[in-house]
Chains A and B, each alone.
Chain A
Amino acid sequence: MKNRVCITGIGCVTPFGFGVDALWEGCLNAKDVIAPIPEQWSRYHTYSSNIWAPLPTIDYAKHHLSRVDCMQQDTVSLLSVAATHDALAQAGYALTQANERKNTWHIESIEPYKSGVFIGTGVGGLTSFIDAEAHHINTPVKKNINTLKEAVNYSETSSLFDNLGGTLQFPPRFNPFIVSMIMPNAIAAQLGIRYSLKGANETTCAACASGTIAIGRAFESIRSGKLDFALAGGAEYLGDRFGGIYRGFDAAKTLTHDYSDPQTANRPFDKNRSGFLFAEGGSAILILESLNRALRRGVEPLAEIVGFAESFDAHNIMIMDPSGEELRNLITQTLDDANHEAVSVDYINTHGTGTQVNDPIEASVIQSLFDKKPIVNSTKSLTGHTIGGAGAIEAAITALSLFHQTTHINKNLEEPIEDLSFVKKVEEHTLNTALTQSFAFGGHNAALLLKRLSQPE
């Protein structure tokens, strides 16, 4: 017999701030998150885009992360551990310390071998690698420059040396923990270690669909009865000190670049879109458990997950198949997995990046399968694109929309490219079933179907 699977807690760090309340309120109020890119990045390159959605500064000590944690983990793991601690509290789980020195914990009442971790990420601890490599390369370069300084007339060339020095940014030490910081599976492993979870511990690397697939895998594991509890979500951190990751997306012409007002530059599904808003990063961790378990504990779930599917374009590493055939297959299979008809879907949380290529394909597939029945929005029109974190943040928004019976607008949408029921103002809706979908570089597509479980307060 299949288990029903529900979401009982959400923890996150997004450009709106720390926590699910900051995310939800930020989205409902369509708060601005856009800022100019760091000045330091302009030492290295002139970019087509010059805005991003930075993350808030996190005081990790407030989120039970020690100095040792901060030395041994990449930012992407730290964000995820902080988010998980918050998600567990929201789900009503008490924690007891397992080992003080290791900063590990036991989650009350869970069976460790029936509890897993499923995390999606695009690049794992890439920024730690960049720091370590910068130290590795630039330490001898700096020594050579200092030797050169002594050999030439420094007073006449000081500005040249100052410029050189300014570009030579690197941390004071080559981090000896670097291997365990950069591996993409470090996030899931850190969470499994921290919370003493011994069931399946999996990492999904599927770029922008990573978080969605990770949640889907957790859902399938609980539905099948293999597991009873899971931490599931996605995470990314892309704010390297040189702007090289940003440059990669900029060079691929994926970032919003054709705008007069930065505040309206991020405009998914609008005729005047020119790319996505790059986010510094983000993490969302969902507590998934069997509905029986949640009811036994007496907690009120936020939503139920009823379907999951994935498809693969087999078309192009960077460009979505323009026919939309695999998106259609994806949605059909997700509905089939849940034994639902398209007509039952009330709300679609789209992938909605704002790129020239993706939006029309996605909008056209929605139009052909659903017409104007479901309301539609793009969370990325508010948060920017958090890559591996996006699918999980959007699953969180989908669950919250079902729980609260309302959802956020599709920001900056003035001239829609397709006649869909885009959300233009925040108001009450009857939302019983919602689809959230993600598409990724590589050609990976994934979707989750969620259902309302509770009455709004």
Chain B
Amino acid sequence: MTEADILEKTRSVIAEILRVDKESITESSSIKGDLGADSLDQVSLLMALEEEFKEEISDDDAKNLLTVGDTVAFITKKISEKQ
């Protein structure tokens, strides 16, 4: 899976969980500020991303995933480490 694929999938998951227009989600979008996720939304989003990518995201790692770009970079790294 390429980084572009991961970005695409991440945007879809965010759109589904936060009920926001996918087109409005960019790499620089902040999950809390721009996309309006509250703390429960953030946990739901992490669970959905874990489910989607079959990768575990620890609570410590999750603290650093502030933007869509952060999240995509983290998942890309996780997947590449496995290969």
Number of residues of chain B lying within 8 A (CB) of chain A: 12
A67 touches B43 (CB 8 A): no
A421 at the interface (CB under 8 A from B): no
Which of B18, B40, B41 has its CB near the most chain A CB atoms (within 10 A)?
Answer: B40
**Minimal Cβ-Cβ distance residue in A for B36:** A101
Number of residues of chain A lying within 8 A (CB) of chain B: 12
A67 touches B56 (CB 8 A): no
A140 at the interface (CB under 8 A from B): no
B19 touches A173 (CB 8 A): no
**Minimal Cβ-Cβ distance residue in A for B47:** A71
B17 touches A100 (CB 8 A): no
A456 at the interface (CB under 8 A from B): no
A177 touches B56 (CB 8 A): no
Tell me which residues across on chain A come within 8 A of B44, comparing CB atoms: 68, 71-72
Q: A68-B44, A172-B56 are in contact. Are A101 and B19 (CB under 8 A)?
A: yes
**Other A-B pairs beyond A100-B19, A176-B47, 5, CB < 8 Å:** A67-B17, A68-B48, A72-B40, A72-B44, A172-B56
Tell me which residues across on chain B come within 8 A of A175, comparing CB atoms: 47
Tell me, rounded to whole Å, the shortest Cβ–Cβ distance linking B50 to chain A.
6
**Minimal Cβ-Cβ distance residue in B for A180:** B40
Tell me, rounded to whole Å, the shortest Cβ–Cβ distance linking A22 to chain B.
29
B47 touches A173 (CB 8 A): yes
Which residues of B, 22-55, contact A by the 8 Å Cβ criterion? 40-41, 43-44, 47-48, 50
Tell me, rounded to whole Å, the shortest Cβ–Cβ distance linking A104 to chain B.
12
A172 touches B43 (CB 8 A): no
Tell me, rounded to whole Å, the shortest Cβ–Cβ distance linking B54 to chain A.
8
Tell me which residues across on chain B come within 8 A of A100, comparing CB atoms: 19
Q: A172-B56, A173-B56, A177-B43 are in contact. Are A68 and B17 (CB under 8 A)?
A: yes
- Nearest 4 CB-CB pairs, A to B? A101-B19, A68-B44, A100-B19, A176-B43
**In the complex the two chains form, what is the Cα distance from A71 to B47 in whole Å?**
8
Tell me which residues across on chain B come within 8 A of A67, comparing CB atoms: 16-17, 48
**In the complex the two chains form, what is the Cα distance from A172 to B49 in whole Å?**
13
**In the complex the two chains form, what is the Cα distance from A100 to B41 in whole Å?**
13
**Contact indicator per residue, chain A 160-191, by CB within 8 Å of chain B (1) or not (0):** 00000000000011011100000000000000
**16 A–B contacts from the bound complex (CB under 8 Å):** A67-B16, A67-B48, A68-B17, A68-B48, A71-B44, A71-B47, A71-B48, A72-B40, A100-B19, A101-B18, A101-B19, A172-B50, A172-B56, A173-B47, A173-B50, A177-B43
**In the complex the two chains form, what is the Cα distance from A71 to B44 in whole Å?**
7
**Minimal Cβ-Cβ distance residue in A for B19:** A101
Which residues of A, 169-218, contact B by the 8 Å Cβ criterion? 172-173, 175-177
**Minimal Cβ-Cβ distance residue in A for B17:** A68
Tell me, rounded to whole Å, the shortest Cβ–Cβ distance linking A302 to chain B.
35
**In the complex the two chains form, what is the Cα distance from A380 to B43 in whole Å?**
41
Tell me which residues across on chain B come within 8 A of A101, comparing CB atoms: 18-19, 41
Tell me, rounded to whole Å, the shortest Cβ–Cβ distance linking B9 to chain A.
14
Tell me which residues across on chain A come within 8 A of B41, comparing CB atoms: 101
Tell me which residues across on chain A come within 8 A of B47, comparing CB atoms: 71, 173, 175-176
**In the complex the two chains form, what is the Cα distance from A321 to B50 in whole Å?**
52
**In the complex the two chains form, what is the Cα distance from A234 to B43 in whole Å?**
30
Tell me which residues across on chain B come within 8 A of A172, comparing CB atoms: 50, 56
**In the complex the two chains form, what is the Cα distance from A172 to B51 in whole Å?**
9
Which residues of A, 92-114, contact B by the 8 Å Cβ criterion? 100-101
**Contact indicator per residue, chain B 5-16, by CB within 8 Å of chain A (1) or not (0):** 000000000001
**Minimal Cβ-Cβ distance residue in B for A99:** B19
**In the complex the two chains form, what is the Cα distance from A283 to B37 in whole Å?**
32
**Minimal Cβ-Cβ distance residue in A for B57:** A173
**In the complex the two chains form, what is the Cα distance from A175 to B48 in whole Å?**
12
**In the complex the two chains form, what is the Cα distance from A67 to B51 in whole Å?**
11
Which of B43, B47, B50, B56 has its CB near the most chain A CB atoms (within 10 A)?
Answer: B47
**In the complex the two chains form, what is the Cα distance from A101 to B50 in whole Å?**
20
**Minimal Cβ-Cβ distance residue in B for A176:** B43
Tell me, rounded to whole Å, the shortest Cβ–Cβ distance linking A261 to chain B.
42
Tell me which residues across on chain B come within 8 A of A68, comparing CB atoms: 17, 44, 48
Tell me, rounded to whole Å, the shortest Cβ–Cβ distance linking A136 to chain B.
15
**In the complex the two chains form, what is the Cα distance from A173 to B47 in whole Å?**
8
Tell me, rounded to whole Å, the shortest Cβ–Cβ distance linking A102 to chain B.
9
Tell me which residues across on chain B come within 8 A of A176, comparing CB atoms: 43, 47
**In the complex the two chains form, what is the Cα distance from A175 to B17 in whole Å?**
16
**In the complex the two chains form, what is the Cα distance from A100 to B15 in whole Å?**
12
**In the complex the two chains form, what is the Cα distance from A72 to B47 in whole Å?**
10
Tell me which residues across on chain B come within 8 A of A173, comparing CB atoms: 47, 50, 56
